[in-house]
Amino acid sequence: MSEIKFSNEEKALIVAKLQRYFSEELKQSIGRFDAEFMLDFIADEIGAYFYNRGVLDAHALLSAKFEDIGDAFYQLEQPTDFKR
């Protein structure tokens, strides 16, 4: 997995969400620098867990779709004297 990077716009949005969470839920203020530091920590130390979950979810989705496609091919087959 490569390093998780966000655009400046994405990072600003996430930082604002962290600041809002701290303010509303924890009743503490957190500065932009501290929120960016926390975001970097989360991305570096915890991000792989979320990434891996996304990979597993994508794998499960694609596996189900490939099974559906296989079933669709089976339904298209015409009867013949050959046995499978």
- Give pLDDT tens digits for 7-35: 999 999 999 999 999 999 999 999 999 99
Q: How many domains does the chain have?
A: 1
Residue 3 lies in a domain: no
Residue 54 lies in a domain: yes
Residue 57 lies in a domain: yes
Distance CA 84, CA 81 (A): 10
- Give pLDDT tens digits for 59-76: 999 999 999 999 999 889
Distance CA 20, CA 13 (A): 11
Domain that holds residue 48: 8-76
Residue 23 lies in a domain: yes
Residue 18 lies in a domain: yes
pLDDT at 66: 95
pLDDT at 64: 95
Residue 2 lies in a domain: no
Distance CA 52, CA 48 (A): 6
